[in-house]
Amino acid sequence: MHLAYSEDGKPFQALNHNSGVLFAKATQNENGTLRAKSLKNPYLFRMADGTFGVVAVRTEADGQQDEESRGAVLFFASDDLLQYQEIGLIDLQSDAYVRDVACEYDESSRAYVIRWSDENGGHYRNRIEDLFDLTGAGAPEKAEPFTLVAVSADIEGMQHRNVIRVPRETADRLIGRLTVPENVAIEVPDCITAASAEDLKTLKATAVYSDGTTAPKSVDWDTAAVRWDQAGTYRVNGTVRQEHYAFPVAANRADPCIAKWNGKYYFIATNDADGNQTLYIREAETISGLIQAGESLILDTQTYDHIKGLLWAPELHIIGDELYIFHAATTGEFFYEECHVMKLREGGDPTCAADWSMPRRVVKRDGADLCEAGKVISLDMTVIQVNGECYAAWSERQFVPVDLGAWVYIAKLDPKEPWRLTSDPVLLTRPDFGWANNHTFVDEGPFALIRGGRIFLTFSSAAIDATYCVGLLTADVNADLLNPDSWTKGNYPLLTSRSVPGEYGPGHNSYVTDDEGVTWNVYHARPGVEGPRGTGIRRVHFGVDGYPVLDLTEERDLNPALAGVSIEVIVKRD
């Protein structure tokens, strides 16, 4: 289901880059595998309590009729049209497949009326007092055909459904969350009292965005005309600084990670140039310096007997003042891929291979291997440190006896021996939404961003082609992170091939905060549908509700017409 909005009922504009906001969940087969589902003909309506409901026809992934949905419609509930809960199939007491559906609340009878048609052209209606009672619908009655009001919209691929009015507060939040904000103003104080150019350097401009959010921006001030040894008032001009990172910043580098260690920045990534046989690291004084920095080999498939290839998704993590690299590798074949950890020796140089320990395999709390070799693989392990606790999150995929797809797990991690779990793994997410299982069933690449009392755990889904995308799990920092109920999974991805023109299959991202306090999203994507994976860097904006915005491009982040600012500088001398 997609959403579009209009202020006056005239031409509608697509939200969320014309990507879906609501997907049917997969069902589970007896052997544990998932069966992907899709939906068609969604109908949005107001519930009796003022919240929202959606009814839709559930289908198989390819659009064919879903046997389990015979004589039933799928029902969702939502408070805000951003987060939806799939309640289940409402039984319409019929053996016919539903072709189309609509629903409204009838105030006079205090019941909902579900209108629907079947594949034979028959039209019916059922009454039900409580939609959450999936078996509570009355018997179907023959009814007149229902029609949908036409709207004016030029939206690619649109299959028109219904129109609903929403409160201004709901609309503003929807537009704020489902459109990319843009810079509409730059604010600086009228004047500042300063004793030196250094005082002025610390002053930040405030960028104001169309959704009402703001972000601090550094300014390059021209203070040549200021006499710091002479009291007076001076008009100083400046230019708001905008870091430029043209995509890609590193070709043939995927699953990228940047971290700061002992005053320097380090970049590491999967090396697609040689078929994932080596890991190289870059070092620089700044994030931008990493782009042209040289590379140092720190791991290959020749050094250790148990490391034979498929060196995937390296991540740099600082745990207890020690630097580690978490990565995946195989002892031979693909089906033996497993999470490993390397530790930098005390006083070691991260760019020196000899200063890194031999990779050791991650084990469970009892010392057993994390996965059964040859049957289950593990990869993409990351570290989450919050409230003095250390956690690992990773992706795991069972292939034998059946392929379950890749699922993301979490467990506590021993900070003194971070290759050892100290709790049993807990399932966080599996690829049950359509954007995660359109070619293959994959949830992988988790990485945590902690801000404003919340943990934003992004992860990547689908095949690593142009359909690759970034999903989101959120939890309160004080919640029990080993309780799956503490996490909320978003219904739609934050980043897709529709998000930024020219970047296809974005995903497997990580985050780094620079010396100015700016958080950057480090990710990979493709410069064309069939192009090679390459690394990108883009600022993370924190938009409506404090959620991360990953698709704010440089053009929207800073309007060049607003980049010039000025301020009065008052110099006082004793």
Which residues belong to the active site? Answer: 255, 444
Side-chain-side CA neighbours of 273 within 13 Å: the count stands at: 11
Assign 3-class secondary structure to 214-235: EEEECEEEECCCCCCCCCEEEE
> Are the C-beta atoms of residues 134 and 90 closer than 8 Å to each other?
yes
Cα separation, 45 vs 342, whole angstroms: 54
Q: Helix, strand, or coil here: 289?
A: helix
C-alpha to C-alpha distances, 240 to 201, 510, 560, nearest whole angstrom? 12, 26, 9
Structural tokens at position 57:
């026809």
Cα separation, 101 vs 118, whole angstroms: 9
Cα separation, 303 vs 122, whole angstroms: 70
Cα separation, 157 vs 39, whole angstroms: 15
Cα separation, 389 vs 319, whole angstroms: 11
Place of tokens 């399932």: 427
Side-chain-side CA neighbours of 495 within 13 Å: the count stands at: 30
**DSSP letter for each residue of 95-141:** SSPEEEEEEEEETTTTEEEEEEEETTS-EEEEEES-TTSTT-----E
Q: Helix, strand, or coil here: 493?
A: coil
SS3 content of the chain, % helix, strand, coil (to 5): 10, 45, 45
Cα separation, 221 vs 564, whole angstroms: 10
Report the DSSP beta bridge partners of residue 116.
101, 124
C-alpha to C-alpha distances, 299 to 250, 255, 277, nearest whole angstrom? 19, 16, 9
Structural tokens at position 274:
């040689």
